């Protein structure tokens, strides 16, 4: 039995439409230039404060906070529904749970928003725990939380994601990671992962090969 930790955006589901439209909603409301969906795809994964800082050059914390609030003004009622599961991912989740694995989510999203997405996509029942960074924690912090769990932390573990933030976080806690090619990462990001898969059906074998027992961090 393994503990399998999934990123959400770009790994479980494709959120591009909702995220990019919500970014442009915030930029427009603040009087900044909006951008094409193609240009905004690189911001699927990073924290929102990084997104708006890079896109609009916003450094002032109050304005950054306003931008994030405006993003969520659209994303929470509308944008999270502009989201669809990747083909084959439900079969993988079901098979992993049936084989005894415990599944968790570790995302840069706020926990309540991530839970809302999972419920909308009708996959929330597959996940034992949902962990969200919001703006004040790193993804490696979430992995440490899971490692410290008295049950989940005793099992071989692996992190699955599509961006460098996923693989770097796993590396920080000495956890193996699997890169998925159907998300929004680039080849240079995949090189940071322990292994790479081309399609969801490849995940169970890669998990069996890569999941490792990891020493829980000191309290």
95 included as an active-site residue: no
Assess whether pLDDT exceeds 60 at residue 191.
Answer: yes
User: Using CA atoms, how far apart are residues 43 and 178, in angstroms rounded to an integer?
Assistant: 20
Q: What is the pTM of this model?
A: 0.94
**φ and ψ of 88, to 5 deg:** 90, -10
Catalytic residue among 7, 14, 164, 166: 7
> Left (φ > 0), alpha (ψ -120 to 50) or beta: where does 31 sit?
left
Structural domains for the chain: 3-14+85-210 (3.40.50.1000), 16-81 (1.10.150.240)
Digit-coded pLDDT (tens) for 82-126: 999 999 999 999 999 999 999 999 999 999 999 999 999 999 999
Chain position carrying tokens 């419920």:
119
């Amino acid at each position: 039995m393994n503990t399998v930790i999934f990123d959400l955006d770009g790994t479980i589901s494709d959120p591009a439409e909702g995220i990019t439209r919500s970014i442009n909603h915030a930029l427009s409301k603040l009087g900044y230039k909006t951008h094409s969906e193609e240009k905004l795809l690189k911001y699927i994964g990073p924290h929102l404060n990084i997104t708006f800082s890079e896109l609009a050059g916003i450094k002032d914390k109050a304005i950054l906070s306003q931008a994030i609030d405006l993003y969520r003004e659209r994303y929470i009622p509308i944008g999270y529904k502009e989201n669809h599961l990747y083909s084959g991912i439900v079969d993988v989740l079901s098979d992993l749970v049936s084989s005894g694995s415990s599944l968790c989510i570790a995302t840069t999203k706020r926990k309540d928003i991530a839970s809302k997405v999972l419920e909308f996509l009708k996959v929330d029942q597959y996940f034992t725990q949902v962990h969200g960074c919001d703006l004040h924690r790193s993804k490696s912090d979430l992995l440490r939380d899971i490692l410290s769990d008295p049950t989940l932390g005793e099992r071989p573990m692996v992190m699955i994601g599509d961006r460098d933030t996923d693989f770097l976080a796993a590396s920080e806690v000495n956890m193996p990671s699997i890169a998925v090619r159907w998300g929004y990462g680039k080849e240079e990001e995949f090189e940071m992962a322990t292994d790479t898969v081309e399609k969801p059906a490849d995940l169970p074998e890669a998990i069996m090969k890569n999941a490792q027992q990891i020493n829980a961090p000191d309290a």
